[in-house]
Structure 1
Amino acid sequence: MSNFRANDPLLLAGKIITLIAQGACVLGGLVLAALIPVMLFMQDTISAEVAAKYGEAAGAFPGLAFAGVFLIGLTILALAFMFFGKLRRIIGTVGEGDPFAPANAKRLNNMAWLMLGVQILMIPAGALGFYLAQWADEIETANINIDGGVDGTGILMVIVLFILARVFRHGTAMREDLEGTV
């Protein structure tokens, strides 16, 4: 097909936003990847500093729980990076004038699975966040807010993506049938 939408500002904005989102995922992933070993290998040092600052009421520093949250966050960022990459490729096919390509149906299906993975990972993230919030309650001046758990909007997005993947598969099949009859 022709390249009739290459200068479309909406498609250009979509490509730029997906690239920025992927860059943010990489940056966030690098930070979390650096923090995980710090939490694991410096847990005793951090625990001593927390005890010195907040007293024995703080208890032992939950370095493993923090490392777990960071590892889950790193995994979520990796899934998001792949999600935005697939979205950028779909945007590219729209710009080329061929959105009902068989690859896009597969991309949408994969995007749905990636988002489902994110939703599933939010459950242990929420549990660890709850544990860390309880620990922080022992330290009167500390405040930890970790939002986790299943999100209704995220589940809706997963369902919509699976449905769109079916629509694209059906649209591709219809186009192939039409081209075969002409």
Structure 2
Amino acid sequence: MLRVYCAGPLFNAAERSEMDSIAAALEAAGLTTFLPHRDGLEFAKLKPELEKLGASVEEAAHMLERAIFSLDTYQLLRRCDAVVANLNGRVADEGTVVEASLAWHAGKPLVLFKADARSMLSGSDNPMLTGLGDFEVIDHLAALPQAVLEAVARDRSHGVERTLERGARIAALREGGGELSALAKTLYSAFKKP
């Protein structure tokens, strides 16, 4: 059974509820999920326990920060088969951006989810983030399970290399002082959809 890491903001009740809904949609389709606030470490509950063992307030916080980073990275890279990154908000949560980046670089299937019209760039999200999901963003909860299955089935074996090769071609044209028309032709041939 596929296990999906659910990445997203968790800093208030509404954000946690939204993440619960994402996990529920995936679980209803027969997938299992890792939801950090449900299945991970709870800072507020563990910190006093560490302090009871003799850790100072600062030491306890430092220990938990390292533990959360270690557990979540392990779950994302080793235990989960795919990642869903919730981008809702004007800008995506910083931790979600890191988790999406880890998934992309590791070649993990990554599905971007955003059902929120707010954005940073006049209706578009930052291309450095949407590029991680091959510029596809799912905007309905009900579509998430199928998007995850399609992402898992897609060949991702050369994603990072393909991106670097395209970037190298563009950099060479920019650095060579070539004409704008040559750059446009390269972009057209590299990124036109078949």
Q: If the length of structure 1 is used for normalisation, what is the TM-score?
A: 0.28
Q: Which has the higher strand share?
A: 2
Structure of greater Rg: 1
Larger helix percent: 1
